[in-house]
Structure 1
């Protein structure tokens, strides 16, 4: 058997949210835990689905099941089950760019519909993430690689409550600062040199920003995320949700 990832504690949180449980109507899934381990093997190694070890089952059956779960937002629910009760005293936002493998290109509708764009590094996708005060993922958005980081912040923080926001100077935007002031949230955003009236930033709190950078480092240990090989943004998002669920509940 290939090396497995899920602990019993992680599986206890995930299992109630899987499809095909014995209590569900219709056909029951054959070992949901092994299926999730198969998906994690793909996400961790970055291998093509056809190279999935036979010990996990038939690769094409597992791939079709994966796509069914993607469409049903199951991986979102698995992430939410493992990431309950975030510490929102402070939120942190940052972005990272991942290269898109040629196997990740060619989806119907073109790259612009799959959060893929041409930037300095070639065809890339940008992962814009918001974490809690402990560096655990709360929300993320996918954007084409050439889009500016600050563009995705308003929908990312919409409806979220936090006491302050920590970010680097890429997010030094008048619109973002105005939104935070309206919320009464503390602004801990590094200032651009071109800003005429500098804000008073708490330097000690700003040092916490390394936690979101640590999260990206852990996320990119999963090779299918470090280099995107998924054609659709829904499949790529599902891989991120599953990896983040495992990272959060370690």
Structure 2
């Protein structure tokens, strides 16, 4: 029997967010817990759906069900609901690059439309993450690998209520500092070396930024995230969402 990822305690937490319950008119389906285990197996191993062990059911049926849940935003909504009470004494933003497997490059509309681009590492996707002061994921965005982190920052900080925001010097931009000050958020961002009038920042507080890097390490323990094989950004975001959910409830 293939190793399972969900304990009874885990399942009790995430079951209310799943489709197919008897209380969902027209949404009843097979064993939702077994289905979630199947998705987690794919995320954890990075295997192709065709390699799904038979004990989880026919791979194509599981994949089609996964895509239905993706289109209904089940995985993302589950993650957001379970991360709705972050500790925002300070927040952190950082980006991380993942390579895209050849099998993940064939979606309609071209690579760029699926948050895939060409960077120094080849064909890649960038995950831009926002974490709280404990290093727990609050939200994230996907971008093509060559895109600058600043591109998705406005969306992540639009409704952010935190005392401080920690980021590396790649996010040292005047407009960002002004936007944070308007939201009563103190920027903790080291200035770029070419700054004529470099801004001051709290070096002691900045040391805590390693927590977001630690989080990326946890996320990339899942091979399906460390090497993207999802053709669509929706499916890849679902992989990140379910992995983040499991990290959150452990």
Alignment correspondent of 1:226: 226
Alignment correspondent of 1:33: 33
For the residue of structure 1 that corresponds to 2:94, the secondary structure is strand
Alignment correspondent of 2:3: 3
Instruction: Choose 51-60 or 4-13, whichever is displaced more.
Output: 4-13
For the residue of structure 2 that corresponds to 1:23, the secondary structure is coil
For the residue of structure 2 that corresponds to 1:160, the secondary structure is coil
Question: How many angstroms does 1:93 deviate by?
Answer: 0.1
Instruction: Choose 188-197 or 56-65, whichever is displaced more.
Output: 188-197
Confirm or deny that 1:59 pairs with 2:59: yes
Cα deviations by residue, 1:113-147 (Å, 9 ceiling, x for unpaired): 00001111111000001011111111111000111
For the residue of structure 2 that corresponds to 1:142, the secondary structure is strand
Instruction: Choose 183-192 or 78-87, whichever is displaced more.
Output: 78-87
Confirm or deny that 1:101 pairs with 2:104: no
Question: How many angstroms does 1:27 deviate by?
Answer: 4.8
Alignment correspondent of 1:75: 75
Question: How many angstroms does 1:58 deviate by?
Answer: 0.9
Alignment correspondent of 2:143: 143
In the TM superposition, 1:202-221 aligns within 5 A as 202-221=202-221
Cα deviations by residue, 1:163-182 (Å, 9 ceiling, x for unpaired): 11001111111111111112
Cα deviations by residue, 1:57-113 (Å, 9 ceiling, x for unpaired): 111110000000000000012212332311111110000000100000010011110
For the residue of structure 2 that corresponds to 1:212, the secondary structure is helix
Alignment correspondent of 2:124: 124
Figure out how many residues of one structure are paired with residues of the other and give that number: 250
Alignment correspondent of 1:46: 46
**How many Å separate the matches in 1 of 2:127 and 2:80?**
18
TM-score (norm 1): 0.97
5+ long unaligned stretches in structure 1: none
Tell me if structure 1 keeps the 8 A contact 2:190–2:200.
no
Tell me if structure 1 keeps the 8 A contact 2:220–2:226.
yes
In the TM superposition, 1:144-159 aligns within 5 A as 144-159=144-159
For the residue of structure 1 that corresponds to 2:152, the secondary structure is helix
5+ long unaligned stretches in structure 2: none
Question: How many angstroms does 1:23 deviate by?
Answer: 1.1
